[in-house]
A and B are shown apart, each in its own frame.
Chain A
Amino acid sequence: MKNNGINIALKSIFYLLLVMAALMFIYPFVWMLSASLAPEHELATLTVIPSEITLKNYQVLLDKIPIGRALFNSVIVASSVTLGVLVFGSMIGYALSRLEFKGRDTIFYIILFTMTLPFQITLIPNYILMVKFGWVDTYAALIIPYMINAFAIIMFRQHFKSIPQDLIDAAKIDGCGELRIIFQILWPNSIPALVTIGIITFMASWNEVLWPLIVIRDEQLMTMPQLVTLFAVGGRAESQLGVKLASAVLLALPILVAYMFFQKYFIQSMASSGLKE
């Protein structure tokens, strides 16, 4: 009986600590949201619920920087990159897993090699390429270099290997070409792989900031992370903390909303990407 009491007490302490740990990860985001909605003079007090809710910070932000346009740019860039990675990744993954040809292993090892290559080596030459191609200040610079992803190719190759050959043979007898096999036979049987690769790619593209900082100078073409970064460090926030936080909220919001609905997929996708590396 006494033992039971101690057990319950220990359990309560355990859960209390666990909840506190979870709050350490959640509270900063809650504070960021409420601070962005609070009047400027209340920010210093750090309360979670402001005495009045105001959208003034967001109005100031909309007046100062083209954040709507940046949202549009980010959607265009991240969607195009994701589509490219899925289409090309499955074509290449299919060739590497389902077709027999000389040089297949060589290509596969080249792909593995490029995955281990630190990006610090290619950063400067790739910028110079963008200059020579005339791609500075275009969507092309943000999209085309990212449309092929070694990790996605490896994932597709792995996945297509697990699909029964009968399915492909049957399609071939019906006279399907290779592209139709990939996109009409294999894709419907690969939804989890498509979702996993799609989420990782979209998220990475959405959050990418170094490359846009390098190749985009025109404010009208900036993606959200870049515009928010330059706003935060460039002095245009004029030390108005609330406005700065509002810009961070707008940047985080789309991914956070997606995360709320697809939390399980996000975690699985990221975990599998970590495991494969």
Chain B
Amino acid sequence: MNSRHKTILPWLLLSPYIIHFLVFVAFPIIFSLVLTFNRWNIISPMEYIGLSNYSRILHDRLFWKAVGNTLVFLSIHIPLQIIVAITLAEILNQKIKLRPFFRGAFFLPVIVSGVVVSILWQQLLGFNTGIFNRMLTSIGLGRVGWLIDPNWAMPSIAIMATWKNVGLYIVLFLVGLQTVPKAYYEAADIEGATKWQKFWHITLPMINPTIFMVVILSTIGGFSLFIEPYVMTGGGPLNSTLSAVLYIYKQAFFYYHMGYAATLGLFFAMIILFVIVIQKKFIEK
């Protein structure tokens, strides 16, 4: 009796997880694969169309546009994020006054909803009355169409996303910096190393794991970008801010192309995993 009780008990405790896994993870994965071979608008019966969704995606200009937009976002967001975060973390790691205040200030946008940040920055980036263009005109420069110029819209969102997330990465880099043994720096001092040499040869290699994590989190963030373009640009101008998730959302809930939307989801997920594997190879060098 007791031993039977013992074998059944763990599974009783695990049962909520197993049910959740089967219903909300395992079934959806299988079902999403089924969906990619079908055309379906939920209301009428599902229609088997073979590989049509797959061939369609390869010729879908908007799919490649969304991939390209995300790469534009990442190529600005990741370097900017890392440079700003390491710089501010290095500063906060010195003996400075009011450190909790500064850390708290940089962290502020992290906790606030992306909706709030998007509404706020939409005003800051406004063409006529936004603070950025006011500053530009006040020093005699012309206005920039931050959100209305197709060349600027995605970079603007990338800068905004950096502002929103950088506080978290400052804290992560601070944790990383504190793991560097003091003895390393002391040894370098004896050798007469400059501050820059110490940073390049000691700090940077030691915080490499943190850099890798920031790159991965930012990559996932880039492919998950949704509410920012949804609120600020609707994906425009000229689809220049159409993001992966926004495109899935449009296909699924504007056109009710469930099969095609599932195919998009699968492809974007594959691209995320592919990009992360490449980054891993690149950073480990």
Contacts and interface: CB of A to CB of B under 8 A. Distances in A.
Interface of A: 15, 18, 21-22, 24-26, 28-29, 31-32, 35, 43-44, 46, 88, 91-92, 94-96, 99, 101, 104, 107, 110-111, 114, 117-129, 131, 145, 147-148, 153, 178, 203, 206-207, 209-210, 213-214, 225, 228-229, 232-233, 241, 244-245, 247-248, 251-252, 255-256, 259, 263-264, 266-267, 270-271, 274-275, 277
17 contacts: A25-B167, A95-B10, A101-B11, A117-B25, A117-B269, A120-B266, A121-B266, A123-B265, A125-B262, A178-B13, A209-B115, A245-B120, A255-B111, A256-B112, A263-B107, A264-B100, A270-B171
Contacts of A99: 9-10, 13
- What are the 4 A-B residue pairs with the smallest beta carbon separation, nearest first? A125-B28, A118-B269, A95-B13, A148-B20
Interface in B123-157: 123-124, 129, 131, 134
Contacts of A233: 230-231, 234
Interface of B: 7, 9-11, 13-14, 16-17, 20-21, 23-25, 27-29, 31-32, 35, 42, 88, 91, 96-97, 100-116, 119-121, 123-124, 129, 131, 134, 163, 167-169, 171-172, 175, 213, 216-217, 220, 223-224, 226-227, 230-231, 234, 244-245, 248-249, 252-253, 258, 261-262, 264-266, 268-269, 272-273
A26 B104 CA distance: 10
- Interface residue SS majority, chain B: helix
B114 A120 contact: no
Contacts of A91: 13-14, 16
A125 B217 contact: no
B111 A44 contact: no
A29 B108 contact: yes
Given A28-B124, A95-B13, A128-B258, A214 B253 contact: yes
